[in-house]
Amino acid sequence: MGNAKPRREDHSDGRTIDRIDTAPTFTEGDVAALNRQFADASTDEVLRAVLLDRVAGDVAVVSSFGAESAVLLHMIAAIDPATPVLFLDTGKHFPETLAYRDALAERLGLTRLITLTPDDALITKRDESGLRWSYDPDGCCDIRKVQPLAAAMAEFDGTITGRKGFQSATRAGLARFELDKSDAAGRIKVNPLANWPADRLAAYFAEHDLPAHPLVAQGYPSIGCMPCTSKVAAGEDPRSGRWRGWDKTECGIHVPGQDDGEFEPAF
Ligand code: SF4
């Protein structure tokens, strides 16, 4: 049956983190205050406040090592290369993504790449065939992404994501700071690139000579798990190739439509 709990593999100095799981308890008021405080700040200033001044407490980056991940990871590595970087290894990624993850982490000098994997027993029980993605993608994302991340988050007060407002209609108007409503802990979600347009990302890639995910050149502007990612035609939202054919835009890690209580399972 395998392991009883989701595994957490820390590719770092191996230190044991002594942390009691107390609720961060940030509020909507805290988030609004942070958005006001950093309304005119640069992306670098936001990241320095988060990583060095710890305005959101102990945070980890959640990265898919996808098409645009290198920009945020490069900025973070320049400030604190020991920032924890969480990668959800669903068991369904393109092999190119796993190779890109390792190469990019090494190139940027990231010293705390943490790979999270699903609970083996849960996989056996709920997705033994490995085909749950084909008939219940929400359930598959729950087992392979949401639950492993939720378990890992006991150590953190918040996350930094690479989401951008331009990526899809459901991400339009994304704020820099959000209250994470995936549970009741009151964690903060930081979206430093919320207002970055696609051309700024491209310019940053060029300016810093960052390596591209190898699948971008093959027509994938947004890259998730292999079974749930398809190519995108000109003029489509960059994320329209994710869960194509399903009424699903996010995987459950991010929750767009939070203000109206709607739950749409994101990565
Ligand atoms: S993106 Fe697809 S394969 Fe990956 S966890 Fe979600 S449903 Fe499963």
Q: How far is the CA of 51 from the centre of ligand 1 (A)?
A: 30
User: Hey, CA dihedral for 240, 244, 245, 247, is it positive or negative?
Assistant: negative
- Higher-confidence residue of 240 and 227: namely 227
Query: What pLDDT is stored for residue 260 in this prediction?
Result: 31
In short, whether 133's Cβ falls inside 6 Å of ligand 1 is: yes
Pocket test for ligand 1, best of 87, 117, 143, 145 (most atoms within 8 A of CB): 145
Is the pLDDT confidence value at 251 over 80? no
The residue whose C-alpha atom lies closest to atom 6 belonging to ligand 1 is 141
Report the interhelical angle of 69-79 vs 43-51 (nearest 10°). Answer: 60
Q: What is the pLDDT of residues 107-137, one digit of tens each?
A: 999 999 999 999 999 999 999 999 999 999 9
* The 158-160 sheet, strands edge to edge: 7-11, 113-117, 85-88, 59-62, 158-160, 187-190, 177-180
Atom from ligand 1 closest to the CA of residue 138: 7
Query: What pLDDT is stored for residue 170 in this prediction?
Result: 73
Is the pLDDT confidence value at 239 over 80? no
CA dist., res. 78 & res. 101, Å (int): 17
Is 251 among the catalytic positions?
A: yes
Helix, strand, coil percentages (3-state) for the chain, rounded to 5, are 40, 10, 50
Q: What is the pLDDT of residues 189-233, one digit of tens each?
A: 999 999 999 999 999 999 999 999 999 999 888 899 999 998 887
Contact 123, 143 (CB under 8 A): yes
How many CB atoms are closer than 10 A to CB 30?
A: 17
Query: What pLDDT is stored for residue 247 in this prediction?
Result: 65
Of 42-56, 99-113, 174-188, minimum mean pLDDT range: 174-188
Contact 64, 267 (CB under 8 A): yes
Average pLDDT over residues 146-162: 95
CATH number for the domain formed by residue range(s) 7-12+22-217? 3.40.50.620
Query: What pLDDT is stored for residue 253 in this prediction?
Result: 64
**Six-digit token pair at 126?**
């709920």
Q: What percent of the chain has pLDDT over 90?
A: 69
The residue whose C-alpha atom lies closest to atom 1 belonging to ligand 1 is 225
The residue whose C-alpha atom lies closest to atom 5 belonging to ligand 1 is 141
User: H helices of the chain, where?
Assistant: 28-37, 43-51, 69-79, 95-108, 120-126, 132-135, 137-141, 147-152, 198-207
Domain boundaries, the chain: 7-12+22-217
| 85-88/113-117 β-pairing | parallel
- Higher-confidence residue of 118 and 253: namely 118
Query: What pLDDT is stored for residue 8 in this prediction?
Result: 46
Is the pLDDT confidence value at 4 over 50? no
In short, whether 144's Cβ falls inside 6 Å of ligand 1 is: yes
Q: What is the pLDDT of residues 42-85, one digit of tens each?
A: 999 999 999 999 999 999 999 999 999 999 999 999 999 999 99
Q: How far is the CA of 13 from the centre of ligand 1 (A)?
A: 30
b/e 56-94 (16+ beta carbons within 10 angstroms → b):
beebbbbbbbbbbbbbbbbbbbeebeebbbbbbbbebbb
Q: How far is the CA of 88 from the centre of ligand 1 (A)?
A: 11
Is the pLDDT confidence value at 17 over 90? no
Query: What pLDDT is stored for residue 156 in this prediction?
Result: 95
Query: What pLDDT is stored for residue 51 in this prediction?
Result: 98
Contact 244, 230 (CB under 8 A): yes
